[in-house]
Amino acid sequence: MNRLFATLLFFIFPVSLVFAEYQRANDGMVSSRSDIASEVGKEILEQGGNAIDAAVATGFALAVTYPSAGNLGGGGFMILSLAGGEVISLDFREKAPGAAHRDMYLDADGNVDRNLSRSSRQSSGVPGSVAGLLAALEKYGSMSREQILAPAIRLAAEGFILNSDLAGQFRGQFNNFRNHPASLSKFSKDGVPYSAGERWRQPDLAQTLQNISEQGRDGFYKGSTAELLVKDMMTNKGLITLADLDNYEPVWREPIHGTYRGYDIWSMPAPSSGGVLLVQMLNMLEPYDIGAQGWGSKDTVHQMIEAQRRAYADRAEHLGDPDFVDVPSQILISKDYARQRFANFDPQQSGDSTTITAGSWVNESPDTTHYSVMDGEGNAVSVTTTLNSSYGNKIVVAGAGFLLNNEMDDFSSKPDSPNAYGLIGREANEIQAGKRMLSSMTPTIVTRNNSPVLLTGSPGGSTIINTVLHVVMNVIDHGMSLENAVASPRFHHQWQPDVVRYEIGAFSDDVARELEAMGHAGLSGSRFPIGDANSVMRGENFIEGVSDPRNVGGVSGY
């Protein structure tokens, strides 16, 4: 790792510095939050599978080896760049159950009950991960479902040795798990927290995975697994029914496409806000010579903050599920709109989030994980998947072994009422039965001449989009290696609250003082990491992968 960024990371993580895992390979690469899951993906590639096969196998393995965000009971998004140049996206975001309604989380005084929206069975949307992964495999994979699921089944049944990262997570969540017998049983030994070095087995999850292997989506959305899930819901005032499960379908959508300095940017469309905001911010920044200004300079940071401020204001007003609301994506990602949106940019003064609201035009018409996979044939897959909060609502389905999501909190429960990540939402993202909740997940592929160059994405709730923005700009504008592009400290602004969060080292103390003098209030240096961008990039004659040094992760190539 470059010494500059190793030094910067020391200031971010002074107690336990975690260096990025980095590999170069010729024929394929997988980067994820779990070294075991990355190895599963690599083995699929070695066996002759393509990047889609490897991505699906990695996704199911993450449900076993990284349970805080890898999942069967959540959802996510996938961007695929196929050999030959076609780029497509798959939406397997969770949906609101049929019994959901706009005011379901409001108490008698009209205030949002956050316990209901985050910690109860009523916080769970209809899961999409299993349907999404199987849909990708069926359409673009080359291996059988049984081959793809075999590693995850083995890991769940035979177990694996817990590292200090996972054992520490289980211990940290122990008081939450104690409230739910199935969760306590899964994540402890008879009520005693696991320790690093112990083997962790998940027999109920192994059986659920076996059902999926044998029966496909019916092994999850029908039959014994579905019945266990619905029984849990009915017993505990949850909303998901057998009909909700049977009716769930992932959706193939046209990806968001933009250009930036000769590169093509491909990312996720609504109900993700990530692709729209990423392209919108890049459009606002493209007129400026970011590379000449320099990484961490006052001008670069100021311009990026102001682009972030305006884009996140538009998110609150205009973004939602396109199957329910008219999302003006093509307007928002146009370069003409970016010029209009940035017309009031003052190079010497910060904007004011109380006066900079959502843009207008003449009508002519939050815990998550990311992984990246590239093969030697020109296929690439960028996937972000989530349960929303870390370990979702902390509730394991008894007998089925998987955690429930609490994605319903990503809806706007009440106009202008912030969710768990402080994000503001309005009518476009209000709760409706069957609707997909707005997301910040931003799986992204950067291509040039119809070939994938960079795969990236991140967890982090509202910070996801800006994490991806940093990685893309670090590669394109600042010419960084993949290691440095991922490792370099980041900053984040999301319109409301009007606060700049930044990792120590994202800019100098002198620049911080200059930004404060320009009116950037509430500068908040943080030792908490921003993002976890497990990324892959193609070089001249090699593929390189890096796991973000902010967390334990793994890359595996051959």
462 by DSSP, 3-state: which? helix
d(CA 497, CA 349): 18
**377 residue type, one letter:** E
pLDDT for the residue numbered 360: 44
Rounded to an integer, the average pLDDT of 546-553 is 95
Contact 443, 267 (CB under 8 A): yes
Percent of the chain with pLDDT over 90: 83
Q: Tens of pLDDT along 112-145? A: 999 999 999 999 999 999 999 999 999 999 999 9
Percent of the chain with pLDDT over 70: 91
Quickly list H helices, 188-297: 203-215, 218-221, 223-235, 242-247, 274-285, 290-293
pLDDT over 80 at 66, yes or no = yes
pLDDT for the residue numbered 12: 43
Contact 141, 216 (CB under 8 A): no
Which of 58, 225, 300, 368 is an active site residue? 368
pLDDT for the residue numbered 365: 31
Rounded to an integer, the average pLDDT of 90-116 is 95
Contact 313, 342 (CB under 8 A): no
Rounded to an integer, the average pLDDT of 417-445 is 80
* Of residues 424 and 105, more confidently modeled: 105
Query: Which range among 103-112, 230-239, 267-276, 514-523 shows the weakest confidence by mean pLDDT?
Result: 514-523
Q: What is the pTM of this model?
A: 0.93
Residue closest to 74 by CA, chosen among 411, 332, 403 = 403
Q: Tens of pLDDT along 469-507? A: 999 999 999 999 999 999 999 999 998 888 889 998 999
210 by DSSP, 3-state: which? helix
Decide if 368 is catalytic. yes
pLDDT for the residue numbered 316: 83
HSE (side-chain half, CA atoms, 13 Å) at 14? 6
Query: Which range among 33-42, 349-358, 491-500 shows the weakest confidence by mean pLDDT?
Result: 349-358
Question: Which are the contacts of 358, defined by CB distance < 8 A and separation ≥ 6?
Answer: 313, 314, 316, 317, 318
What band does 352 get if pLDDT is binned at 50, 70 and 90?
Answer: confident
pLDDT for the residue numbered 351: 81
pLDDT over 80 at 436, yes or no = yes
pLDDT over 80 at 418, yes or no = no
What backbone phi and psi angles, to 5 degrees, belong to 526?
A: -140, 140
Q: Tens of pLDDT along 176-211? A: 999 999 999 999 999 999 999 999 999 999 999 999
pLDDT over 60 at 366, yes or no = no
Pairing of strands 444-448, 263-267: antiparallel
| CA angle (130 as vertex; 39, 70 as ends), nearest 5 | 45
pLDDT for the residue numbered 282: 98
What band does 267 get if pLDDT is binned at 50, 70 and 90?
Answer: very high
Give span(s): CATH 3.60.20.40, the chain.
Answer: 255-347+442-557
In CATH, 255-347+442-557 is 1.10.1300.10: no
Rounded to an integer, the average pLDDT of 91-113 is 95
pLDDT over 60 at 395, yes or no = yes
End-to-end CA distance of the chain: 21
Residue 502: its H or E element: strand 501-503
* Of residues 486 and 365, more confidently modeled: 486
Pairing of strands 87-92, 75-81: antiparallel
pLDDT over 80 at 440, yes or no = yes
HSE (side-chain half, CA atoms, 13 Å) at 274? 36
